[in-house]
Amino acid sequence: MDYEVCRKVWDSQIAAQITIQNRDEILPFYTMLPRFSYFSVVLQDILQFFTSRDNELNLDGEKIWLESKGVPLKMYIPIGVIFDLNNEVEGDTWHIVIKTSNAPSGYRTINRETMEQIYLQNLKEADFLKRKAETIQNMQIDEHRMLWDSICNNHFDDFWGINKKLMDTSDKMFDSIPLRVYERNRPAFKQTLLNPRNDSGELVTVGHAICQLLAISEILPTSTLISHGIRIPAETPLIYAAKNLTYPDNFVHICVLKND
Amino acid sequence: MQDFPEELEDFCGIWKEWKIVKGTVPLENYGKLLKTIEICGEIAILEVNIVYSLIYRVPVLWFAISSENGEPVENGSVEEFLRGCARKMGKLVVAKYSLNEHPVLGLLYYNIHPCSTNREIFKSSSPENSINKIAQWLSNYGPDLGIYIPSGIFF
Amino acid sequence: MEFIWMVAEDGIPWRMPILEEPKDATQVEWEPVPCSASYSIRQIAASSKTAFALDRSGRILMLVLPTHIALRQKIEVYVNQRWYPLVKWRRPLPTDRSEYSDESGKLRRDLEYFEDSPVDGWSWEEPWRTNRDPRSFDDQGWQYAITFLGANSTNWDRQCKRHHFVRRKILRRHMRFTQHDKWIEFSPEDDSKMFVELACGGAEIMEDGEILLFALGTDGNIYRRAGIRTNIPNGTEWCQLPKIQNPSTNEEIDDVTLLAISPTLGTLICITWDGKMYQRKGISCAIPNGAIWRQIPTPKNRAVIGLTIGTEAIWCITADGMVWFARLEIDRRKMEHTNIEELNFQEVAKSGICRISLTKNDQVFCVGSEKEVMEVRTGIDSSEPSGKKFEVMKYEGNEKKRWISICAASSNLSNIPKYLLDPRVLQARQEIFQFKNTFWRKQILESLQISNDKSWEIMKDVKIEKISDDFGCENVERFRKIKAQLVVFGDGQRQMRSVNLRISEAVFEIEGERNIDCAMILSSFSGFQRLPQKYLLHILVKNEAQPISFAFTDESSRNSCQEIVDNIIRSYITTSARNSLGQSMWTISNSGSVRWHCLAEMDPKFEKEIPLSDTRSLTVPGNFESIDCGANRLVWAVNFAGDLYSLHPRFDPLSTLDHTFEYRQTDELRHELYEYQKSAIFRGFVTFQGQQKGVSAWMSKNEGAAPQFYSGLASKFWTWIDAEWRLEDSDEDSWEYSNEIDGNFEIGVGKGEGKIRRRCWIRRAKFETNKSVWAKVEGPSVKVVRVAKVENQNSVTVITLTRDGHLLLRLGVNRENFTGSSWSQIVTDSPITAFHIQKHEKIWCITTESLIIWKTLVDTEQDVWNYLDMNLPSRKVVVTQKDADICGSNDILYLRSRNVLFRIDSANLTCSDPYPMENLRQAVVNLQGQICLLGSNISIVNEWKVMLYEDKKTTIIQPRSMNRAMNFGKSIICIAMY
C-alpha cells in the first residue's frame, strides 16, 4: 500500500451545489462530496440538511432522484466516477438537482442497505478476479460490515485495516485485475479478464490493459484516462493501480474521455 | 465459454419464447424472456435476461419485476416471489441475489449470484455432448426464478 | 555496511549484508566473495572494517571493506643540506646526517626506495611534494639552523640568516589503499608463518581503528598482530604470546586448538586439545598481549570443543554435543569481564549446533549439525538472554550449501531482523520502493494534489461569496477551551496555578488573568520538567522578554495546545503573504527541537524585514543537535548520535496539508544523573533533603533537580535503551569529593576529606519516529554539516565534517534528489576543526593545528590546498579545537574561538583584535553576508566599524548596527540562516 497515494485518493472531494427542483427560493446547499462514496450514502445527509433548514419541506427519500446537466445520476456508482464521466474539470461547483418528479424509466433510487448489498457483491467480484474469492470468503461478516461502515463514516484507517488483506500479494500475484472502464457513449462499463503480467513476465500497464479491453490497438493521444479526477499516466503498472488507485469496492474505475 | 453466442442462438431458436438482443459485440448478446407472474395475488411482469459474464465465464440470470404499469416492484415483493419459487422446489433457502448494474443495459437489475455456478457443464466440449449447454445450465438454475424448460424440446 | 561472514564447504567465503530496513531482497542478498582459485578458505574472523580469511595451507588473507574516508599513509623524507662557501648549498658533510633522512637524522632514507609502487594494495597518490607551511618554512620549503647537532624543531627558522649553515626541507608523499573489497595477502613480507586459527575482536577497548587479532600458528604458539591501525589494516609485525603453563606440572601446554575473543572487550580464551579452557588475563589497550594465562572451569567439567564470546553472553559446545550459555558481567569502568572464572553455564540444548558465533550485541548465528545450514537463535533479549529456539534462516541460498565457518562478530545486530526468517517481509517493502521514484507516480501525486487544492479553492470562494447573502446564519465565533496550569515565578520559586484558557482566532484568553492578541504571539516551544513531572509549553509574545509558560500533566494535551498555537501563528504568517524566497532562520533548542523562523513578511506588496525580536516561528518535528540551511531551501541536520538527515523539500512549515512522510528518524541520548551526599558527623555520608545552593540530592546534568532514578521521558518518541540506571564507574571509589557543593569535584580526594560527594548514574534513551519529514543520509558519524548558500549549476554543495576531522562532499544534491547520491572525500593532510563554504566555489578550513587553509571546490581529489599566510609576528590566532567556527562572505572571514570573534580580511591580510562577546557559542553567515551571532541573545550584525592599526595588519572591530533578539538566545544551541 502506497500510503501517500491512497490517502490522497481517499481525501479527494468534489465541490457541489445542490438545489431542489422547482424550488428556486430555497438556497442551495454547498458541500464537499467524497469521491469514494456513493449518492445512496450521502443522500440522507443532504436531505437532512434541507429539512433542518426548512421544516416544512417534505422530501421522500424513496421517491426522489438526482440529476445533473439533464442527466440522471446513478446512485450506485462511486461519486467520483460519475463526476469524471459526465463533467469536464471546471472552475465551478458541480450543480446537482434533487428531482421530485417521476424518475425516468429504468432508474431507481436506492437506500443505504440496498447499496451495502451492491457494494458487497462488487467486492466479492473483485476478490474473485484477484484470487478466486478466497480472501473474502475467509473474512468474518463483521469485517464486511466494518468496511461498509468506514465508507459511510469516512474512516480511512478502519477501512484500510481490513482492506489491506484484500490487497496482499506476498504469497502470490493476483490472478487478474478488477478494472472497469467507462466511456461516454456507453450505458454500462466494460470489464474483462486482465492479467497483471504479460507473457514475458513484465508488468502490464494501464494503457495496454485498456487497449486490450476496448479492443483497440493503442490509446489515441486525443483520449485521456481519468480516475479520481486526475489523468492517469498510461505507463502506470496495472498492479499498482489495483492496489493504490482503486475505489473502496476494490475496482479500478477509469473513464476514457475524448478531448474535444 | 467461447461459444456462448452460438449456443444462445441455438437455444433461442429452439425455445422461441426467448428473444436474442444483439449487443455491440457477439459476447454482449443476451437472451430475453418476458413472463407474467403472480405475487401475493397481484399480477406482475417478470423479465429475465441470460447474459454472459466475462468475469465468471458463465451465463448469469438477470431479472426485473415490474407491475402492470411498468413501475418496478418493491424489494419485498421480489423476495416473496423468489421464496415462492424456492418453495416449489422444496428448498427452504432462497437463491442468493442482489441488485447491480446490468452489464449491457447499464441499468439496475437483480441478478442471481453466479459464484456458485457449477462450471462443469461448460468444461466439456465433446461433440457427443450435443445438448445445448445453455439449456443444461438453465435446467439447474432456471427454477430459482420459476423457469422450467418445457419437456422434450432439448432432451 | 555490516556483514555476517560465512565459509562454505567448498572453501569459498560468503557474506550476508545486514540492514535494519532493507528496501528489497536484492539489498540483503548473500554474495560469494571468492579469493583467487588457489585458496581454499576454512575460517573467517572479521571486525567491522576488515575481514581476515584463513586458508587451508595456513596463509592469511585480508579484505578491507570500502570506506568513505580514504586510507592513507604519509611518508616523509627530510632533505638535508649544508652551506659551503663558493658552492653554496650542497649535500651535507659525511659527519652530518645523510642527505636524505628521517627527522632525527639517524635513519637513512633513499629516494629510490620510494619510487616504485609501495606495498601490495597501496599506490602513490602524487609525486613528492615539499611542505610549505608558511609558519615554519620559507617559500621554497626550507628551514635553516646553525648546525644539525642538537637541533630540534624550535631551532629551525624559516628565514635564512647569516649564521645559518644548514638547512632542510621535508618531502612528503601519500600512499593510498586501493584494493578495497578484494582479498589480498596479509603479510607478504613474512611468508614463513602459517596459521591454523584466527580470532578478531576487542573493538571497544582499543583506540579507534585498532583491533585485536590473534592467530594460532602451526608451531603451536599464539601470536598477536601488532600495529593494526585504521590506515595500516594489516598491522606491522607478529608478537608471540608466552605459552600456557599447566598449573600443576608447570609444563608448557602445546596443544591449543581453538581461539575465541569477544568482539567488544579484551577477553581471549583458548581451548586445548583436551577440551580445557584458558583465559589470557590482563588484556587492555595498554597491554594488548595480556599478562598471564589462567585456567577457567568448563561447564560441568566437560570437554569444550566450540566457543564464542560476545559482550554479555558466552556460548559453548561441549564434546557431547550439548550447547551451553552463561552470562558475562562487565565492569564498565575498566571495560572488562569480571566473572570469567566463575561462569555459571546453563544447558540450552542437547545437540543440534556445530558452529556458533555471537554478534556484538549477543545475537547468535550458528550452523546446525545435521544438515549444516545456517541457523539463528530467536528470542534473545534482555529478559531472555539465551533466547527461545534455534531456527533455520529462510533464505534461498541457505539450504543449498553446507557451511563450515561463520563469523558474526562484526555485526551490531541486537535482534534478529524479520526478513531473515520470513521472506515475505521483503516482498512487501519491495513493492513500495519499486515505484517510489517513477515519473508516473510523481505525476499521479502531483495531479491529486492539484485537483484537491482546486476543489477546496472552489469551495472557499463559493462560501465567501454566498454566505454573505445568507441571512440568518450567525457568525459563530469558534473557540477552544483548554485547562492548563500557568507557571509563575513568585518568591524566587516556581509555582503553578490552574487556569482556563479560551482560544479563538483572534484572542488567546487566560481567564481571570489576561487576554493576548493572537497577532502578538510569535512562537511556541515545548519543554519538559522533571520535578514534578510536567509537560511544558512556552509561548513567546511580542515585546515581552519572558515567555508565558503553561504546564500540562499529560503530553497529548500539551501537544494539542501547541498545535492550536502553531496554527494561530501560521495563519498570521500566511495572511501576511510571505514571499516564498524569503529569508528564514532555523534554530535548535537545548532539548533538540527544531524551529523555523520567518524573517520577512509581505506588507502588503513589498517584502519587509522583520526585526529579529518580532519574528514568528513554528516548531518542526525532529530531534537534532545542529542544522544548516542553504540554496533552494535545502535544510540538513545532524542528531546527537552523529547521523545525518536532509529535510524533504515538499515539507513546508506553513502548510498544514497532510503531506504524510514516512521516514524514520532515530537518535540516542545518554542521561546523566548525579547523586549527592553530604557528610554528617557520626553518620558518614548520607543523602540529604531539600536544596543547598540550588543543588538537591538528585540532579540531572542538564535539567536541574530530578526524581531519583526517574523514568519519565520528554515525549512519546523517546524510550529507554537501558532497563535501569547504572553507575558510570561501577567501582566503590567512583565518588568525587569536594568541599563546596558548587565547587570542583575530584575523584578520591581521600575518603573522609571533602564534605560533599557525588557520583554519576547513566541511562541511555533512544528517540524514534516513523513519520519523520527528515530522510537519513547514510555515511560515517558526522559533527557538522554545511549547505552552500548558492547553487552550483544543477546541484547544491553539501559538505560534512566527520567526528574524526575528515571532510566529505555529498554529490548530486538538489530538490529532486534531496539526499544526494554519493560521497566524495575532500582530502586534507591534517584533521579539520571547522570549515566554511564560500558561495559554492571555495572551502575555507581551520585545521587542528590552527592553520587556515583554502582551496577551490572544483577538483576534490587533488591536494591543492593554499595556506592563508597571515604573517603575524607576535600574536597568533589560536583556535580551540573543540569550540570553533569559521564563516564569512567573499574575502572576509570570521573566526570564532570560544567566546571571541576575529575578523580576517584575506585580501588585505589583516586580522582584528579578538572581539569578545558574552556566552558566544556560534557564528554563521546568511546569504547577504551578514554575520549572525549566537550568544545570550541572537544578533545579526548589519555593518562593522573597522579601524586599522598603524602596523596595517591589525584592526579593531565594533558592530555599527545590529539586529538583536533578546528573548530566545539562552535556550538555543544552534542556528542556521539563509
* C209 assigned to some structural domain: yes
Residues C720 and C812 in one domain: no
Report the percentage of chain C scoring pLDDT > 70: 89
Task: Give the DSSP H/E element, type plus range, for residue C501.
Answer: strand C493-504
Nearest CA to CA, how far is A171 from chain C (Å)? 7
pLDDT(C763) > 80: yes
pLDDT(B97) > 60: yes
Residues C23 and C147 in one domain: no
Question: C-alpha A158: how far from its chain's center?
Answer: 19
pLDDT at site C336: 86
CA distances from C403 to A188, C260, C365, C368, C619 (A): 62, 19, 12, 9, 53
Domain count, chain B: 1
Tens digits of residue pLDDT in C545-558 = 788 889 988 888 88
Tens digits of residue pLDDT in C332-359 = 777 888 888 888 899 998 888 888 999 9
Q: Which of A8, A15, A92 sits opposite C445 (nearest CB)?
A: A8
Domain end marker among C423, C439, C469: C423
Contact yes or no for C440/A236 (Cβ under 8 A)? yes
Residue C971's nearest CA partner among C656, C322, C552, C528 is C528
pLDDT at site C20: 73
Q: Can you tell me the distance from the alpha carbon of C14 to that of C5, in angstroms, rounded to the nearest whole number?
A: 6
Name A246's Cβ contacts closer than 8 Å, sequence gap at least 6. Answer: A178, A252
pLDDT at site C154: 66
pLDDT(C253) > 80: no
Contact yes or no for C96/C166 (Cβ under 8 A)? yes
Choose from B107, B109, B111 for mutation: most chain A CBs within 10 A.
B107
Contact yes or no for C357/C408 (Cβ under 8 A)? yes
Residue with cell 426522489: A64
Tens digits of residue pLDDT in C481-523 = 778 888 887 666 778 888 888 888 788 888 878 888 888 888 8
Contact A192 B56 (CB under 8 A): no
Which chain C residue has its CA at the smallest distance from A11's CA?
A: C452
Tens digits of residue pLDDT in A141-150 = 888 999 999 9
Q: Which residues of B touch A107 (CB under 8 A)?
A: 107-108
**More confident: C581 or C249:** C249
* B28 assigned to some structural domain: yes
pLDDT tier for residue C804 given thresholds of 50, 70 and 90? confident
Work out the average pLDDT over C428-432: 70
Is B125 an 8 Å CB contact of chain A? no
Q: Do chains A and C touch (3 or more CB pairs under 8 A)?
A: yes
Residues C337 and C397 in one domain: yes
Residues C687 and C818 in one domain: no
HSE on the CB side for C667, CA within 13 Å?
25
Choose from B25, B27, B100, B111 for mutation: most chain A CBs within 10 A.
B100
Task: Give the DSSP H/E element, type plus range, for residue C946.
Answer: strand C938-948
Tens digits of residue pLDDT in C856-892 = 887 655 557 888 766 543 355 666 667 888 898 888 8
Domain end marker among C152, C177, C202: C177
pLDDT at site C677: 85
Contact B102 A133 (CB under 8 A): no
Q: Can you tell me the distance from the alpha carbon of C786 to that of C644, in angstroms, rounded to the nearest whole number?
A: 11
Contact yes or no for C325/C386 (Cβ under 8 A)? yes
Contact yes or no for C418/C425 (Cβ under 8 A)? yes
Residue with cell 597491554: C287
DSSP state of C28: G
Residue A85's nearest CA partner among A96, A74, A95 is A74
Contact C435 A7 (CB under 8 A): no
pLDDT at site C91: 84
Which chain B residue has its CA at the smallest distance from A137's CA?
A: B115
Contact A128 B113 (CB under 8 A): no
pTM above 0.80, yes or no: no
Domain count, chain C: 4
Q: How many interchain CB pairs under 8 A, A with C? A: 87
In chain A, which stretches have pLDDT less than 50?
A: none
pLDDT at site C215: 92
Contact yes or no for C272/C244 (Cβ under 8 A)? yes
Work out the average pLDDT over C261-277: 91
pLDDT(C765) > 80: yes
Contact B100 A77 (CB under 8 A): no
Residues C164 and C239 in one domain: no
The mean pLDDT value of chain C amounts to: 82
Name C506's Cβ contacts closer than 8 Å, sequence gap at least 6. Answer: C517, C518, C519
* C597 assigned to some structural domain: no
Residues C801 and C950 in one domain: yes
Residues C347 and C411 in one domain: yes
* C99 assigned to some structural domain: yes
Contact A170 C428 (CB under 8 A): yes
Contact A193 B54 (CB under 8 A): yes
Tens digits of residue pLDDT in C456-483 = 777 766 654 443 333 333 344 566 777 8
**More confident: A168 or C328:** C328
* C367 assigned to some structural domain: yes
Nearest CA to CA, how far is B53 from chain A (Å)? 9
Residues C266 and C399 in one domain: yes
Work out the average pLDDT over C404-432: 81
Contact C462 A11 (CB under 8 A): no
Q: Which of A77, A110, A193 sits opposite B55 (nearest CB)?
A: A193
Domain end marker among C771, C791, C817: C771
Nearest CA to CA, how far is C428 from chain A (Å)? 6
Work out the average pLDDT over B58-75: 86
Contact B101 A74 (CB under 8 A): yes
* B150 assigned to some structural domain: no
Backbone angles phi, psi at C433, to 5 degrees: -80, -20
Which chain A residue has its CA at the smallest distance from B75's CA?
A: A114
pLDDT(C600) > 80: no
pLDDT tier for residue C944 given thresholds of 50, 70 and 90? confident
pLDDT at site C470: 37
HSE on the CB side for C624, CA within 13 Å?
34
Contact yes or no for C360/C264 (Cβ under 8 A)? yes
Contact yes or no for C232/C213 (Cβ under 8 A)? no
Q: Can you tell me the distance from the alpha carbon of B27 to that of C668, in angstroms, rounded to the nearest whole number?
A: 66
What CATH number is attached to the domain comprising B46?
3.30.1460.50
DSSP state of A240: H
Contact yes or no for A67/A216 (Cβ under 8 A)? no
Compute the C-alpha angle B101/B107/B112, nearest 5°: 45
Residues C879 and C743 in one domain: no
Q: Which residues of B touch A105 (CB under 8 A)?
A: 70
pLDDT at site C768: 86
CA dihedral for C947, C950, C951, C952, sign (positive or negative): positive
Contact B101 A76 (CB under 8 A): yes
pLDDT at site C472: 35
* B61 assigned to some structural domain: yes
Residue C773's nearest CA partner among C569, C932, C583, C621 is C621
Contact C431 A32 (CB under 8 A): no
Which chain B residue has its CA at the smallest distance from A126's CA?
A: B55
Lowest-confidence range among A171-175, A211-215, B9-13, B118-122? Answer: B118-122
Q: Can you tell me the distance from the alpha carbon of C6 to that of C236, in angstroms, rounded to the nearest whole number?
A: 27
Name C292's Cβ contacts closer than 8 Å, sequence gap at least 6. Answer: C280, C281, C282
Tens digits of residue pLDDT in C889-940 = 888 888 888 888 888 888 887 888 888 888 888 999 888 888 888 888 888 8
Residue-number span of the structural domain to which B60 is assigned = 4-145
Interstrand relation of C954-965 and C910-912 (parallel, antiparallel or unpaired): parallel
According to DSSP, the residues that pair with C715 across neighbouring strands are: none
Residues C33 and C76 in one domain: no
pLDDT at site C883: 81
Is A117 an 8 Å CB contact of chain B? yes
Residue-number span of the structural domain to which C926 is assigned = 773-977
Q: Can you tell me the distance from the alpha carbon of C974 to that of C370, in angstroms, rounded to the nearest whole number?
A: 59
Residues C721 and C785 in one domain: no
For chain A, how big is the Rg over CA atoms in Å? 19
Q: Which residues of C touch A230 (CB under 8 A)?
A: 444, 447-448, 450-451
Q: Do chains B and A touch (3 or more CB pairs under 8 A)?
A: yes
HSE on the CB side for C875, CA within 13 Å?
10
Which chain B residue has its CA at the smallest distance from A214's CA?
A: B25
CA distances from C210 to C205, C235, C288, C631, C804 (A): 9, 9, 11, 40, 15
Q: Which residues of C touch A9 (CB under 8 A)?
A: 448
* A82-113 residues labelled b (16+ CB within 10 A) or e (exposed): bbbbeeeeeeebbebbbbbeebeebbbbbebe
Contact yes or no for B98/A119 (Cβ under 8 A)? no
Contact C444 A232 (CB under 8 A): yes
Domains of chain A, start order: 7-99 (3.10.20.620), 112-258 (3.10.20.90)
pLDDT(B4) > 80: yes
Q: Which of A5, A30, A232 sits opposite C445 (nearest CB)?
A: A5
Q: Which residues of A touch B103 (CB under 8 A)?
A: 188
Work out the average pLDDT over C673-698: 81
* C119 assigned to some structural domain: yes
Contact B104 A188 (CB under 8 A): yes
* C715 assigned to some structural domain: yes
Is B96 an 8 Å CB contact of chain A? no
Q: Can you tell me the distance from the alpha carbon of C924 to that of C930, in angstroms, rounded to the nearest whole number?
A: 8
DSSP state of C841: T
Residues C715 and C746 in one domain: yes
* B153 assigned to some structural domain: no
Q: How many CB atoms lie within 10 A of CB B128?
A: 6
pLDDT at site C860: 54
Contact yes or no for C345/C324 (Cβ under 8 A)? yes
* B11 assigned to some structural domain: yes
For the record, the C-alpha cell of B111 comes out as: 441478478
Sheet of C584-589, strand order: C616-620, C594-598, C584-589, C972-977
Nearest CA to CA, how far is B20 from chain A (Å)? 19
Q: Can you tell me the distance from the alpha carbon of C662 to that of C203, in angstroms, rounded to the nearest whole number?
A: 34
CA distances from C970 to C428, C471, C587, C921 (A): 47, 53, 12, 10
pLDDT at site C324: 93
